[in-house]
Structure 1
């Protein structure tokens, strides 16, 4: 059985999606999947499904939902075992057994971990490709068709934060490879969605600066400063302040690392294209984390 959470929820076996249609059962399945192979207590399920106002029959209702979920996953009534045998009763809770490769989130996280190992060895091209392959697994926002309770929402926020960190790491690697023209559209979209995210802002500043657009790069810093003040009552970090100062002074360390130009191949024609044409092509390929 294949489980998918990187977009709409699905649980597919033999080409048939056996994910439940009832909202609370979908919510329960989603929480079990984000805690795959770990026990989720009945108390946690009650908190997730009813937050702070559970009915007196909450525990009985959880038992019923689990029974129905087992039948739904099996697709074969009460005697089915393919999906039902994955949902185990543990002491005061339940555990959904997921084999390696069955859950798209596990595969995605494995690819990101592999990419980090590759990048740690200095293999920038391979690392960037691996991170892009991981990004391509997403079919939309995480569990986009499930209404989360407090526990599911908290778990989803951690995954979304890690997803954005992986995207930022790939963009940083692409900047090291001299792909600043290609990144402009994507970075504009991302900084619009995440106006207080300092790493994305710094990536946009560097990409603009290396495209010969120093004024736009400085403007990106000021937009970040205003957003931080308005939303968080904060100021840009010293690291961003130093980057801003380097741009004002046109410091040589902001230029491409030595040897990058000679290493470029497929992106070389884009890197030396006129700024207007390059920006137009980058804008045409802008992507959004919302899928």
Structure 2
């Protein structure tokens, strides 16, 4: 059974929804999401599932179906605010959805095979998809999950500090814990630090970080649903609280329910944290086109 790629796109749907293509980075206006899908198909994924808000389904389909039709199966998962589906009988007012792990939970009735989760607007590189496809077809089980671990120095912006999920990895390559560091940056000498309470703490350049690229079986839906119910009750008066995938991972590790193998990649990760990052991403992609990693026109 071929694995499924689950793309967290509910946050970007507002930009798609106005039917303005989100930013083009490739030579023919390809978006970052196009490169992820292209790499996933090449690596052997059998289905692409987009997690979006339902009101943007038609505009999303108009963009992606013509490109992907005949190449790969597609599916659309809708993330919404209805809590009754989780047995919660109270209305909790929120402006934003409940976060990444809640988005994954929205797929529980549609995904029945091993799958991985990625962000829509991050560039991960083929190596990561190839390694994840291999893990999902040969190693994954209901108590053995994974995440792709990027080298921290290959994920930073030159234009300011960023937040990163810093992984502590044991001798067997499994994650022991993941800590959100909110101010990570390069110093002038090229070393990496994170700042907390005005104090700088060094991080070695090959420290592994999570860029939200996780591998699971459908068992994670049943494992995480009670956690979400508890989280929602606990945060009914905290409209900004978000139920993130690392929270679920941390709970599964601490309870002994599942381990998470950290799969290392030397790929460079690209993302647009600051507007100044955009030309850098465009330049990086054009170099990958020039060296033959990608065709000049992805979907021809």
| TM-score interval for Structure 1 and Structure 2 normalised by the shorter chain | under 0.3
**Larger RCO, structures 1/2 (Cα 8 Å, 6+ apart):** 2
Structure with the largest fraction of strand: 2
Q: Which has the higher helix share?
A: 1
TM-score (norm 1): 0.23
Structure whose alpha-carbon radius of gyration is higher: 1
